[in-house]
Amino acid sequence: MAIAIYSGRADLHDTLRQRCAGFTFETAGAARDACRVALIDDDSGDAAPPKAIAHIVLGRADGGAQRSQRLCVPRDVFLADPANYLAFAVDLAEAAIHASQLEVEVGYLTQIAELMSMTDASAVSERITRTVLNLLGLARGTLFIHDPRLERYVVSFTNDGAVRDTGEFLPGIPQSLLQRALSSGQSFASDESMIVIPLQVEDDLVGVIKVPLAADQRIDADAAANVSRYIGAVASVLGNIYQLTRSQDLAMRDDLTKAFNRRFFESYLDEEIERSRRYGSLFSIIFLDLDELKTVNDFYGHLTGSRTLQEVAKRILSAVRGIDKVVRFGGDEFCIILPQTDQEQAIAVANRVRKSIIGSPFRLEPDIEVSITASFGIATYPTHGIAKDDLVRQADLAMYRVKSTTKNAVGVATVEPVTRPATL
């Protein structure tokens, strides 16, 4: 362990280096200020080592000055056996550090017990984030948790007014900084503008804490180490939140096709409308209904019809983006929700899905091939409706116009004229 020396006497420095070969000594600068053991000579005035835990004070043998972890020794007594006194001070510092760590770990265990009894995931997220901020001595931060429903990271708690849900996979966090944090060994990385703290359970990245930094703010190694220990201690709680989220995801999936189900559709479309309303953005939905699936069921049986639905879902999923949501709306009807997508872009997506479905027959058995088409209807928010029911109705009507005429084509909702009250 390094010893901080607060003395202006060169003979003291020389004596220590000659007689205490097992120690290193720091006499100035940041390296000295970081030492856990300090030797304070009687010529050093009111030296106050900022991080020293154990102090040896020379030339002040007054018993009244003695206190915990501070050893006052006459200078000549110390110089008679300096190595022994330094070893004692090192042992004292290490014992104090160990006791402090045990106290902190007991606090972590107490908090874990409290967190395990909490049923509200957002409350758990807030408690964890605020504890991290307290350890860092900072005020604002955000915890992103992976949401398998959305297949991206979403805000679970924030007290940072600058944070916005942009629909990105991990909003506002550079991939390079996240990778540096993951490979750091301490799960902690920072640049001039933010701290990134990944939250891992085994090999799963279940969440990320983002803490903004002002230009004059820096985090020392001790704070980073404390945060890493804390995050390691609460990993089990984070794992429980993640498993709960995954269970909720399974409840939102259709058993047959593994696309999202109607329950997901109802909640997610509400969220998408609110997000678009708040940020002035737009999105589109595509309804598609398989043409003549009943013929497949009648000719080959319902098992083959179910296999056809599974294969259709796979082709739809392969033709859309990761942020697009594919929903089995019911029976042989699907819906695709396209965030940040205008009408023309939605038409392009619908045609891509249509071509994927008709591109080649579905080989369901060695001797069974099925060819099938679909009819598509598109509605865009807010062009074709600002209420969920209106938007769904418009897309549904557009789809049925196609289904009742050409089939295997894409239709777009009509803009309903605004009825103005008559003037008197």
> How does pLDDT run across 19-52, given as a tens digit for each residue?
898 898 888 888 888 888 999 887 666 566 778 8
- Three-state SS sequence of 192-224: CCEEEEEEEECCEEEEEEEEECCCCCCCCHHHH
Residue 378: alpha-carbon gap to chain centroid = 33
Q: Note the pLDDT of residue 106.
A: 63
Q: CA-CA distance, 372 to 370, in Å (whole number)?
A: 6
Q: Note the pLDDT of residue 318.
A: 87
Q: Note the pLDDT of residue 270.
A: 92
State the pLDDT confidence band at 183, using cuts at 50, 70 and 90.
confident
* Chain position carrying tokens 């409308």: 273
The H-or-E segment that residue 365 falls in is: strand 362-365
Q: CA-CA distance, 179 to 168, in Å (whole number)?
A: 17
Average pLDDT, the chain: 84
| 342-379 pLDDT tens trace | 999 999 999 999 999 999 998 888 888 899 999 999 99
Q: CA-CA distance, 74 to 63, in Å (whole number)?
A: 11
- Contact predicate 25/14, CB 8 Å: no
Percentage of the chain modeled with pLDDT above 70: 85
Q: Note the pLDDT of residue 416.
A: 63
- Contact predicate 325/369, CB 8 Å: no
State the pLDDT confidence band at 63, using cuts at 50, 70 and 90.
very low
Q: CA-CA distance, 317 to 327, in Å (whole number)?
A: 10
CA torsion sign for 179, 185, 190, 195 is: positive
Query: What is the model's pTM?
Result: 0.49
Q: Note the pLDDT of residue 47.
A: 63
Compute the radius of gyration of the chain from its Cα atoms: 33
The yes-or-no verdict on residue 113 having pLDDT over 70 is no
| 262-284 pLDDT tens trace | 988 998 999 899 989 988 999 99
Q: CA-CA distance, 377 to 394, in Å (whole number)?
A: 8
Both tokens of residue 48? 């106050």
Q: Note the pLDDT of residue 64.
A: 43
| Weakest-pLDDT range from 179-183, 382-386, 401-405 | 179-183
State the pLDDT confidence band at 206, using cuts at 50, 70 and 90.
confident
The yes-or-no verdict on residue 315 having pLDDT over 70 is yes
Q: Note the pLDDT of residue 351.
A: 97
Percentage of the chain modeled with pLDDT above 90: 30
The yes-or-no verdict on residue 392 having pLDDT over 80 is yes
